[in-house]
Amino acid sequence: MGKKRQILVIGHNTNGCTPEHEKVAYDVGMEIAKSDSVLITGGLGGVMTAAAHGAKDGNGLTVGIIPQDDASEANEFCDIVIPTGMGLTRDFLNALTADGVIIVGGASGTLSEVCAAYMNKKPMVAIRNLNGPVAQYIDGYIDHRENVKIIGVDNAKDAVKKILELITA
């Protein structure tokens, strides 16, 4: 048995997370579990909680890499909690831990993780029509280096299917 694929799901924390973001994130988590991949998140609220909840309901394994130094800060759907005590610097750990990244909306913290993943040439897929600062880069690149194209998809099932294709390519 080889290493399991590790898929990072990023997006809005509790502030700014809409019911639509939560539904999409839950469905992404469920699809990740169905694919027998490991869900990685930042371990906190909003999209992170919803994705982990979906993965747990799908009998998947969830990992939360949290910025605090106290594991009890993680959401209740994290099987494995990695308390970094690093604050937002942990965004780089999230990106480096992932084989691929799925973006569900988000704000500046999400953009930080996207940039870390981009600089490390991690495959990325973004759900269209969820707004946020990443929306302008969907189906394009962050900068002139064209490290990794952020592929746009329309739903959770397509997001997981596409990220798995990109990881195994």
Strands of the chain, DSSP E: 6-11, 38-41, 61-66, 80-83, 100-104, 124-127, 150-153
Give the per-residue pLDDT at 1: 64
| Residue 83 resides in a domain | yes
Give the Cα separation of 37 and 85 in Å (integer): 26
Count of the separate structural domains present in the chain: 1
Domain for residue 1, yes or no?
A: no
pLDDT of 2 reads 81
The domain that holds 81 is classified in CATH as 3.40.50.450
In a domain, 71, yes or no: yes
> Letter for the amino acid at 96?
L
**114: containing domain:** 6-168
Element (H or E) spanning 96, and its range?
Answer: helix 90-97
* CA-CA-CA-CA torsion sign (100, 103, 104, 109): positive
Q: Are strands 38-41 and 61-66 parallel, antiparallel or unpaired?
A: parallel
What pLDDT digit, counting tens, does each position of 14-58 carry?
998 999 999 999 999 999 999 999 999 999 999 999 999 999 999
Q: Please indicate, yes or no, if residue 64 is contained in any of the structural domains.
A: yes
Low-confidence spans in the chain with pLDDT less than 50: none
